[in-house]
């Protein structure tokens, strides 16, 4: 199985789990937030870096189950425990940081696609996640 196939399988399983647990984005604010973050987080990673994107999710995880769930899923992509994700990212040597940033971005493409097709989240739901980030609320 290729890495892309593995990423696709993991993303489908993770996003389907969100649907099973919370229902579609149209019916649940947690699913809507999660789906919006699946759109917004890759942009955050590209503009601010993986460290700041992870720190942003950590800062919001206490208030939002959607942020917490996406942190779990990103930790799964990285192959680290969710409780140690922030320390893992912060401690990576530069070359590994760059490689893992690309690795997570590659996988997030599938999360974004399944957020739309499985959760029925819309790209506009990303505004909810991006608005907090753009305003500097963290």
HEC letters along the chain: CCHHHHHHHHHHHHHHHHHHHHCCCCCCHHHHHHHHHHHHHHHHHHHHCHHHHHHHHHHHHCCCHHHHHHHHHHHHHHCCCHHHHHHHHHHCCHHHHHHHHHHHHHHHHHHHHHHHHCCCCCHHHHHHHHHHHHCCCC
**Which pLDDT does position 52 carry in this prediction?**
96
The CATH code of the domain at 3-117 is: 1.10.520.30
Domain boundaries, the chain: 3-117
Question: For the segment 69-126, what is each residue's pLDDT rounded down to a tens digit?
Answer: 999 999 999 999 999 999 999 999 999 999 999 999 999 999 999 999 999 998 766 6
Mean pLDDT confidence for 7-24: 97
pLDDT in tens, 34-76: 999 999 999 999 999 999 999 999 999 888 899 999 999 999 9
| Global pTM value | 0.88
Query: How confident is the model over 114-123, as pLDDT tens digits?
Result: 999 999 998 7
């Amino acid at each position: 199985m290729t890495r892309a196939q593995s990423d696709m399988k993991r993303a489908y399983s993770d996003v389907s789990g969100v649907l099973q647990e919370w229902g579609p984005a149209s019916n649940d604010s947690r699913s809507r937030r999660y789906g919006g973050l699946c759109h917004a987080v890759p942009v955050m990673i590209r503009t601010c870096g993986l460290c700041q994107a992870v720190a942003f999710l950590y800062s919001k995880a206490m208030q939002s189950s959607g942020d917490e769930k996406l942190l779990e899923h990103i930790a799964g992509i990285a192959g680290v425990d969710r409780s140690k994700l922030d320390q893992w990212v912060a401690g990576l040597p530069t070359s590994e940081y760059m490689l893992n940033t690309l690795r997570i971005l590659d996988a997030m493409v599938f999360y974004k696609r399944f957020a739309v097709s499985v959760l029925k989240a819309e790209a506009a739901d990303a505004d909810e996640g991006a608005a907090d980030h753009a305003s500097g609320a963290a």
